[in-house]
Amino acid sequence: MAPERPGAVAPSDGVAIEFQDVGKRFGKHADPVLDGVTLRIGAGEIVGVIGPSGAGKSTLARLINGLERPTSGRVLVHGRDHGGAREKELNALRTQIGMIFQQFNLFNSRTVEGNVGFGLQVAGVPAARRRERVAELLEFVGIADKAKAWPAALSGGQKQRVGIARALATSPSILIADEATSALDPQTTTDTLELLRRINSDLGTTIVVITHEMDVVREVCSRVAVLSGGRLVDHGDVYDVFDRPNSEVTRGLVRHAVAGTPDEKRLAVLRDRHPGRLVTVDIRDTPDQLDLPALAVRHGAAASVIHGGIVDLGGRPFGALTYELTGDPAGVTEVLAGSRSAAGVVVHEAVAS
């Protein structure tokens, strides 16, 4: 059985979090950690916040739940600015915002059910109701059999599930995952991201995924914001940002997530191994997508894939393939001419023979 949905917010209805020209410095003369960040996160979205180490991602997360206050600008949560809020109001805000962390932050002196029920106990929820709720949460995250276990006896993935169940205990409308999969192996990462997706779809929870890995964004997010040096350098639908990155930082992250286009080193290796002309074609789901093998056949040539990578971005293909063209030289020349006019195609220079 799924735990309660948050009462206050309908999924995909309205704005959950809004940064209005937010600046943050630690100390009057320090460089800004965040600078002019303007960003809207819709209710019911899963949004990735990505950027290199020190970009300001965790600070941005801490501004959402009121652990930090902006130096300038405003942060609104469900339309309310908590900038001047007192501790009592901030505590109320934090019950609406669950958080999970890279290091899980479990209480080692409490069992799994003790950890998950902690927030409810603090909130004064009666023991019987608490037990019921904890059982429901453990069932939902898939570790009902671990209720009596101690954190030390759990795997990393199980610990993160305890962290997630604990974060969901108060039915938050927003869940912030701060590098929540960074300490997990690839399979456990996939399972944990799948759980986040289920939380989003079954409970309507808005999820902010803080990460330095574009793979995580690619697997679970529909929208992404890229931070670099405290500035928002890219944001939008994941497919659009991957397709048309505005910044070198984003281009680097995309290259890392999709090994489609060969870099200079890889190209040199490919040239060594393949004497024919080489052409790299971006693969997108656009109607003008070039079908190089079909073009080659029409001109009596052949196009063989020798390098590439394609990933699934929200059900849409994204990547690049590099082909070697061989066959009748006149036909190859025709194919190259046809390729040059197509979008997203790089005809690599011929190597001197």
Ligand X SMILES: Nc1ncnc2c1ncn2[C@@H]1O[C@H](COP(=O)(O)OP(=O)(O)OP(=O)(O)O)[C@@H](O)[C@H]1O
- Interface residues with ligand X (CB under 6 A) are 26, 33, 51, 53-59, 212
Residue 54 CB, shortest distance to ligand X, in Å, is 4
Residue 29 CB, shortest distance to ligand X, in Å, is 12
Residue 220 CB, shortest distance to ligand X, in Å, is 18
Output 6 or 56, the one with its CB closest to ligand X: 56
Residue 140 CB, shortest distance to ligand X, in Å, is 29
Residue 95 CB, shortest distance to ligand X, in Å, is 23
HEC string for the chain: CCCCCCCCCCCCCCEEEEEEEEEECCCCCCCCCEEEEEEEEECCCEEEEECCCCCCHHHHHHHHCCCCCCCEEEEEECCEECCCCCHHHHHHHHHCEEEEECCCCCCCCCCHHHHHCHHHHHCCCCHHHHHHHHHHHHHHHCCHHHCCCCHHHCCHHHHHHHHHHHHHCCCCCEEEEECCCCCCCHHHHHHHHHHHHHHHHHHCCEEEEEECCHHHHHHHCCEEEEEECCEEEEEEEHHHHHHCCCCHHHHHHHHHHCCCCCCHHHHHHHHHHCCCEEEEEEECCCCCCCCHHHHHHHCCEEEEEEEEEEEEECCEEEEEEEEEEEECHHHHHHHHHHHHCCCCEEECCCCCC
Output 33 or 75, the one with its CB closest to ligand X: 33
Residue 104 CB, shortest distance to ligand X, in Å, is 16
Output 16 or 33, the one with its CB closest to ligand X: 33
Output 39 or 154, the one with its CB closest to ligand X: 39
Output 51 or 172, the one with its CB closest to ligand X: 51
Output 249 or 335, the one with its CB closest to ligand X: 249
Output 52 or 142, the one with its CB closest to ligand X: 52
Residue 26 CB, shortest distance to ligand X, in Å, is 3
